[in-house]
Amino acid sequence: MIEEKIFERDDKNYLPVFKRYKIVLERGDGVYLYDINGKKYLDFLAGIAVNVLGHNYPPLVKKISEQAAKIIHVSNLYYTQPQADAAAKLVKLSGLDRAFFANSGAEANEGAIKIARKFAKKFSPEKIQIITAWDSFHGRTLATLTATGQPHYQEGLEPLPAGFDYVHFNDADELAEKISDKTCAVMLEPIQGEGGVYPPKNDYLKKVRDLCDKHNALLIFDEIQSGIGRSGKFFAYEKFGVKPDIVTLAKGLAGGVPIGAFCVTEEVAQAFKPGDHGTTFGGNPLACAAANVVLDTVPDEKFLAHVEAVGKYFKEKLFGLQKKYPEKILDVRGEGLILGVELKKSGAEIVNECLKRGAIINCTVGKVLRFIPPLIIEPAHVDELIKILDEVLGE
Ligand SMILES: *Cc1c(COP(=O)(O)O)cnc(C)c1O
């Protein structure tokens, strides 16, 4: 069987850092994926919050094909229209002043950390502390895995970059104790994703903003997962009425083409002079052409209202499951289409059973089912998933 050969080849040759599910995905259409045997799967993972417009979205396919036929890459030594357009759109949407494109989330965060450090040096050589949250996730480069408040991502990689400290998300008092004039930046996901889908409570983010202002520290929001319309607003921070000095994006930004970005205020932007940062691939015309399709689609009021409405419908259905299975489900939480179901036990078996029944879902931190589907899902897709989940939970 071709499938067995692919497993064997990949298992033998690919770096063994992923525990993979035993299916070979071949193509996609809207909210569905198909493996090489033609089996159909309902996709409630979207390549980890990436395929915001679903799979094989015709305007995106068309744009990428057209751009590839024109030019894929030119380096950042020259101007291209797709990049100029994408930067202008991000600046307008973020309310910040300048954008930079990288190739991934980790790289976007790495750039944000670098510019924050450089900016703070203007005030004092000791202003180097970067405070992040426990259970956060910011990436896999040395600086971003140090920013990530989960020690298991750091073990064995020491020495780690210096200057990072951690606080508990949603605890403004703890931040008030840790922050000082030596703090260069506070970096948070407005809604924690990987760490278990934790939205901010009450006016936590406002308090964080005030503390940053008090100590002249920059506020960096990592919207790599919560951004691009996922919360029901283009940036989740709009939902909570708090504006950062730096915001980072990636995942859904180009609908599946690798990209990352950070946006900054003009004042912060001036900390970097020509030569202080760079990238070969980042913001190339192919990635930016794809990003432009996303940036022309997702921020639309009707599109975002759809995310909000389907998200609300989905969350209600998940509450329904909690009511039916209180011995299994501890909590349902999230915003828009980043929803989490905290289980009392490990969720691995539920994910496997859903896969057998043709639904792709994810479990993070062992027992939180995390739903981050394409933003184009309809209530009927939610019903389809809930039916499967109901069956699996009922066993
Ligand atoms: C996925 C993710 C990252 C890392 O993105 P990569 O593209 O995998 O480097 C960083 N921050 C958050 C919040 C993420 O969800």
Whether residue 142 sits in one domain with residue 126: yes
- Total structural domains within the chain: 2
> Which CATH number do you get for residue 305?
3.90.1150.10
Identify the residue whose C-alpha is closest to ligand 1 atom 8. 105
Instruction: Look up the domain containing 100 and give its range.
Output: 59-297
Ligand 1 atom closest to 189 (CA): 13
- Tally of CB atoms within 10 A around 4: 10
C-alpha 313/C-alpha 309 separation (Å) is 6
- How far is 185 from 235, CA to CA, in rounded Å? 19
In the reported structure, the alpha carbon of residue 5 is separated from the centroid of ligand 1 by a whole-number distance in angstroms of 31
Picking from 243, 266, 297, the residue at the C-terminal end of a domain is: 297
From 187, 224, 230, mutation site for ligand 1 pocket: most ligand atoms within 8 A of C-beta: 224
What is d(CA 25, CA 102) in angstroms, rounded to the nearest whole number? 27
With the most atoms of ligand 1 within 8 angstroms of its CB, the residue from 137, 237, 253, 262 to mutate is 137
In this prediction, residue 352 has a pLDDT band, given cuts at 50, 70 and 90, of: very high
- Condensed to tens digits (0 to 9), the pLDDT of residues 194-211 reads 999 999 999 999 999 999
Q: Pairing between strand 329-335 and 338-343?
A: antiparallel
pLDDT average, residue stretch 216-235: 98
Mean per-residue pLDDT for 94-115? 98
From ligand 1's centre to the CA of 253, what distance in Å?
A: 12
Collapsed DSSP state (helix, strand, coil) of residue 178: helix
> Do 21 and 82 belong together in one domain?
no
User: What are the pLDDT digits (tens) for 233-275?
Assistant: 999 999 999 999 999 999 999 999 999 999 999 999 999 999 9
Q: Are residues 257 and 305 in the same domain?
A: no
276 lies in the same domain as 174: yes
Of 297, 325, 350, the domain-final residue:
297
- Tell whether 75 and 191 lie within a shared domain: yes
Domain boundary among 268, 297, 326: 297
pLDDT in tens, 147-198: 999 999 999 999 999 999 999 999 999 999 999 999 999 999 999 999 999 9
SS3 content of the chain, % helix, strand, coil (to 5): 40, 20, 40
What's the 289 CA to ligand 1 centre distance in angstroms? 21
* Per-residue pLDDT at 1: 76
Pick left, alpha or beta for residue 357 (phi over 0 → left; psi -120 to 50 → alpha; otherwise beta).
alpha
Nearest CA to ligand 1 atom 11: 138
> What average pLDDT does the structure give for the chain?
98
The rounded percent of the chain whose pLDDT value lies above 70 is 100
Answer yes or no: do 99 and 197 share one domain: yes
* 359 and 377 both lie in a single domain: yes
CA of 22 to the centre of ligand 1 (A): 24
Question: Using N-to-C axis directions, what is the helix angle for 58-70 and 285-297, rounded to 10°?
Answer: 150
Question: What is the whole-number distance in angstroms between the Cα of residue 32 and the centre of ligand 1?
Answer: 23
Q: Which of the four pLDDT bands, split at 50, 70 and 90, describes residue 394?
A: very high
- Alpha-carbon span 248 to 358, nearest angstrom: 33
CB 120 within 8 Å of CB 184: yes
Instruction: Give, for ligand 1, the residue of 251, 262, 279, 372 to mutate: max count of ligand atoms closer than 8 Å to Cβ.
Output: 251
Same domain, 184 and 37: no
> What CATH number is attached to the domain comprising 94?
3.40.640.10
Please tell me whether residues 385 and 321 are part of one structural domain: yes
Q: What is the mean pLDDT of residues 267-295?
A: 98
Instruction: Calculate how far, in angstroms, residue 108's C-alpha sits from the geometric centre of ligand 1.
Output: 9
What value does the mean pLDDT take over residues 119-124?
Answer: 97
Atom of ligand 1 nearest to the CA of 144: 10
306 Cα–ligand 1 center, Å:
25
Please check whether residues 312 and 285 belong to one and the same domain. Answer: no
Per-position b or e across 59-78, b if 16+ CB within 10 A of its CB: ebeebbeebeeeeeeeebee
Binding-site residues, ligand 1, Cβ < 6 A = 104-106, 109, 137-139, 189, 193-194, 222, 224-225, 250-251
Same structural domain, 152 and 47: no
Could you report the per-residue pLDDT of 3-62, keeping only the tens digit for each? 999 999 999 999 999 999 999 999 999 999 999 999 999 999 999 999 999 999 999 999
> Are residues 119 and 158 located together in one domain of the fold?
yes
Q: Of ligand 1's atoms, which has the minimum distance to the CA of residue 260?
A: 7
Mean pLDDT of 351-363: 98
Compute, in angstroms, the gap from residue 175 CA to the centroid of ligand 1: 23
Closest C-alpha residue for ligand 1 atom 10? 138
Task: Give me the amino acid identity at 348.
Answer: A
DSSP 105-151: HHHHHHHHHHHHHHHHHTT-TT--EEEEEBT----SSHHHHHHSB-G
Q: What's the whole-number mean pLDDT along residues 112-131?
A: 98
Spacing, Cα 387 to ligand 1 middle (Å): 30
Mean pLDDT, residues 226-230: 98
Please tell me the residue having the least CA distance from ligand 1 atom 5: 105
Greatest distance between any 2 Cα atoms in the chain: 64
